[in-house]
Structure 1
Amino acid sequence: MRYGEQILKEFDVERDLEVWENKQEREYMIKIILPEFCCLCPRSGYPDFATIYLEYIPNKLVVELKTIKLYINSFMNRNISHEDSINEIYTVLEKKLEPKYMKITGDFNPRGNVHTVIEVSSQSFLKSVEKPRKEEQAYEFKDRGDNKRAGARRINERERDRSRDDKRGNSRSFSSDRPSRGFKSDDKPKRAPKDGFRKISFEGDKKPRIVKKDK
């Protein structure tokens, strides 16, 4: 048995999966891509290949990269389904790291005209994110309702003031007092009188003379 096979065979996740202290105080996202995942179909024994996408926001611990590579490679000779493998990886890492948020996606290569993607994430985190959003939407709807009621109230006040002015005879419409700026039907463009035009003549003007020829 070669040394790589020996390491994978003897790998114990509780003992060999290393975690380090997270020394950063700010929140940040760690993304790890493991493109060589392989396991065996529990029914046929055929190999299934996948790319594992790991995303998590660490709390106090982070996973050591070499040991997570060995842990993922340890599935190579195991008969396990797509669903069980991804859920097992999620359970192990969540227990080890206790992250603030974690999401694992297993994108399996198509086999038999079937393409499977398994995704597991922290539901508690998603719910905590969705709850403020729902409260914010409810607040927005409340504001819209208040604005509509305020607008209707202003319209009612204007109608009430207009009706009161009509009763007092003080209509706010001054259209009858204003002169009309439109054209009347009998308005016609005014032309200057004929006497006002002066024919321009030049000295030396001669009319053309018509010469009749004898036939």
Structure 2
Amino acid sequence: MVSCNLTAPEVQVGATIKIETNNGLIAEGIVISLDALRKFQVLVLDTKETTGSKPVVRIFNSEHLNSITVVTAALEEGQKHAINRCEQFRANNPVNGAKTAERLQKTLGDLRPNLMKSSNVSIKGQQAYIQLKRTIAETYWSGEDIRVLGLVLVQKPYDVDNVTKDAKATGFDETRANNALLQVKKILSKPATGYTSRAPLDFTIGAVVTN
């Protein structure tokens, strides 16, 4: 084993190395790509975290690395593996301007109904929206009102008493509206709780994890 930095000649595509990040993460894998010429050097590893686990492609910034140890020098077999991994990664993550724009438009289209249409919505209204959205996916802003299941409106000041059926809604059904009304009131009658987002820990081959 050889301890070195990212610019050392031993760190080559196809070499097996072991790294430790500044926050204590330890990973071992084959170097499938690296860029040691930039100000912030980048290292891409094909790792296998535990026995039986799937390989994971990880991208590391040199500024976040505490140590690098070369376990096995770059041999022909390792270099072939790196080339195959890169080709697989590119196939799963095509860099295409048209596709990127298309995905962006779809994402924005999906996001738009969830955006507040007015800046006058109170914190209480925003909390009510989050409470409902967690349980009922079909919860959207309609001006300053919150529309749920297309049949129920929650209006200012967003209390249980401000939940009403929208008889003018397209496809209005009295039975469904009554059920939705009861469900919305039940959700809003509970105290608002904190929300902690969950970030994905890892991605299998075909995606990227940064550290």
- TM interval, short-chain normalised: under 0.3
The answer to which structure has the higher strand fraction is 2
TM-score w.r.t. the length of structure 1 is: 0.18
- When normalised by structure 2's length, the TM-score is 0.18
- Structure with more contact order per residue of length (Cα contacts < 8 Å, sep ≥ 6): 2
Give the structure with the higher percent helix: 1
